[in-house]
Amino acid sequence: MFSKACEYAIKACIFVAQSSIRNERVTPKQIAEEINSPVAFTAKIMQQLVKNNLVSSYRGAYGGFEIEKDRVAQISLSQIVSAIDGDKIFNGCGLGLDACSESHPCPVHHQYKTIRQDLQKLLDSTNLKQLALGIETGLSYLKT
Amino acid sequence: MFSKACEYAIKACIFVAQSSIRNERVTPKQIAEEINSPVAFTAKIMQQLVKNNLVSSYRGAYGGFEIEKDRVAQISLSQIVSAIDGDKIFNGCGLGLDACSESHPCPVHHQYKTIRQDLQKLLDSTNLKQLALGIETGLSYLKT
DNA sequence: TTTAATTCGGATATTTTTATCTTATTTATT
DNA sequence: AATAAATAAGATAAAAATATCCGAATTAAA
Ligand code: FES
Ligand code: FES
């Protein structure tokens, strides 16, 4: 469904969000530890998230990554997925035709469209605040 | 969502089904032509489908691939997807945790579970006969 | 001003997926 | 028996995804 990079990105964002709510910046090392991911690869992904304006970074001592508190509830999963995996998942053809279209549909178009829309709705309506809260209250987990 | 191999497999199966209904066997070359895929790679995928008993193959002159007419309506997309991509898509964690579980859920577990189930229902309830008919009647297309 | 801690960027390495090539084997027809 | 047409199987290649490494730039604090 999502690329490994995207899975890491989502989990990383949740952890950063959770920390940011507590006014704490975090380093790639801390993130990797918390979400059980390779450090350097995670750092690369964080750079992409910064470029896409989903996460803020601060260099030097006492630096690290954070998400502005006010924005935590505004950042949806779909934004993160788009930033890392692009939007093929939201508008691409399920069978890999060059484009998904009503006028030249693939055999599974009608079925697939529904799933795709449901997925988008879901990712649109799920934000980092909700997810961070789930972790905070011990209802869900970022690693095994 | 699906791997390239799986996309090819689904399209190939639809074409083979359509041909089988007309009592015609098809070669990898014909399949590749029809679904716009690399021949040799497609041939490899056909082998996997044969191993998984979804498609029958016949060597030698007048050989090729076919699906027993009676089985066309019994073969669902989920069987094809399982054969090529495995069942991670049906029961794996959306964020890549080792296992998806109610007692140790990832942050998106509840949301993701719904999508996953909807997808499975859909793939379970869609069979090759329906899809081949769509192609046959010009309602859908296997390539751009 | 030095130091330590940090992100950034580019180069490189490894693994997986996608794709190709080549040879062997099977089979119907001639 | 020979031939031609086909799948099977294994080796190899190319591309993409995943992962690592290292040096440069930045920054707060000592
Ligand atoms: S054309 Fe394939 S999903 Fe729309
Ligand atoms: S634990 Fe992640 S989807 Fe169920």
**Domains of chain A with CATH codes:** 4-136 (1.10.10.10)
Residue pLDDT, tens place only, B91-107 = 999 999 999 999 999 99
Q: What's residue B48's pLDDT? A: 98
A139–B106 C-beta distance less than 8 A: no
pLDDT (average), residues A65-76 = 97
A85: amino acid identity, one letter: D
Q: What's residue A4's pLDDT? A: 98
| Distance in angstroms (rounded) separating the CA atoms of residues B53 and B67 | 10
Per-residue pLDDT band for B139 (boundaries 50, 70, 90) equals very high
Locate A57 and state its tokens.
């970074």
| Contact between residue A35 and residue A143 where contact means Cβ atoms under 8 Å apart | yes
What residues are in contact with ligand 2 under a 6 Å CB criterion? B 93-95, 97, 100-101, 105-106, 109, 112-113
Q: What's residue B3's pLDDT? A: 98
Average pLDDT, chain A: 97
Q: Which residue of B has its CA nearest to A81?
A: B95
- CB of B138 less than 8 A from some CB of A: no
In 10 A of CB A90, how many CB atoms?
Answer: 16
Residue pLDDT, tens place only, A16-63 = 999 999 999 999 999 999 999 999 999 999 999 999 999 999 999 999
Which of B4, B111, B126 lies at the smallest CB-CB distance from A96? Answer: B4
Q: Which residue of A has its CA nearest to B12?
A: A95
Please tell me the distance between residue A109's alpha carbon and the centre of ligand 1 in angstroms: 4
The pTM (predicted TM-score) of the whole model is 0.96
A7–B107 C-beta distance less than 8 A: no
Where b means 16+ CB within 10 Å and e means fewer, B59-91 reads eeeeebbbbeeebbeebbbbbbbbbbbeeebbe
